[in-house]
Structure formats: C-alpha cells, structure tokens
Amino acid sequence: MLKDFECTQESYAKGILREKGLKSTAQRLAVVHVLHTSGKSLSVGEIHDGVKEMLGVTGLATIYRTLEVFEDLGIVKRLHFPDGGHGYAFSQGEHVHHMVCVGCRVVFDFPECPVESFDYASVEKQGFRVKDHFIQLFGQCGKCAEAA
C-alpha cells in the first residue's frame, strides 16, 4: 500500500514511528507525502485536502492527531506567520530552523543555528536558564520577488 509514494522521507517517518512503537498507517504516511512534496508550509485544512485526494475519505481529527504526534517526533514543525496564522512543514532532523516566503509559504531549511554560539549572559544574569529556542526567518523567494 502506498508503494507508489514510497520515498526517503516516508522511510524516515516509518523508522521513527516503529522506533517509538507507533503504527505507520496510510493516513500518517500520506501526511508526510503531502507535506514533503509540497515543499511549503500548509494549513491543517490544506493537509486534510491533500490527504483526502490520496486516500479518499479521511477524518479531520486524524490530521490533527497525526500532526501532534509528528510534531513531538520532530517530523513536522509548526510555523507561525506574521498575520497570526500558522502551518506545518516537513522537517527532517531535530535541530533545523526554517525560512518561509511570506508570499507563497515555500519553506527552506536552515541547518546552521544562529543562536548556537550566542552568549546568554544578559538574561542568565537575571537567574534565567535558557533551555530551548524557536527561530523562524521570513523573506521572499526568487519567484515571489520576480512577481513583485
């Protein structure tokens, strides 16, 4: 099942799911496929539509549940937009940041971490201990730059 869509990214997801004792269902693999092939950040509704196109009837709740699981596993990242909306993007690997085109929401990976070598002294002086961070870059991709 889903043989036609088999690819590195789905194997990657399968591996992580198995590792955690979770099932590789058609719905979950379809979410990976939709997100990865789009190369963009998609809304829950868009993901739902994409999955339905692949599998036929699919419950919306399943999409929400899958995205939650995948976020915990680091397979997808939730991205936030300046307009207040949010979406999900495929994300292979734990510590990758993303850059999103505000025009078409295309996502580029950003493996180097800008804060890795950053000195937190100014906040840690106040008794704070930094444990994690969220970074997202906004910009314009080549295509959207031309169109404008």
Partner DNA sequence: ACGTTAAATGAGAATATTTATCAACTGAGC
Partner DNA sequence: GCTCAGTTGATAAATATTCTCATTTAACGT
CB of 69 to its own copies, least distance (A): 13
74, burial (CB in 10 Å: exposed 0-12, middle 13-18, buried 19+): middle
For the bound state, the minimum distance from the C-beta of residue 68 to its own copies, rounded and expressed in Å, comes to: 8
Nearer to DNA, 42 or 101 (CB): 42
> Least distance to DNA from the beta carbon of 65, Å?
5
Tell me the sheet residues that pair with 107: 100
Stretch that binds DNA, among 18-26, 98-106, 107-115, 129-137 (CB under 7 A): 18-26
Alpha-carbon gap, residue 99 to 12, rounded angstroms: 22
Query: Interacting stretch for its own copies, rule CB under 8 A, among 16-24, 27-35, 39-47, 131-139?
Result: 131-139
Per-residue binder mask for DNA (CB under 7 A), 68-107, x = binder:
xx--------------x-x---------------------
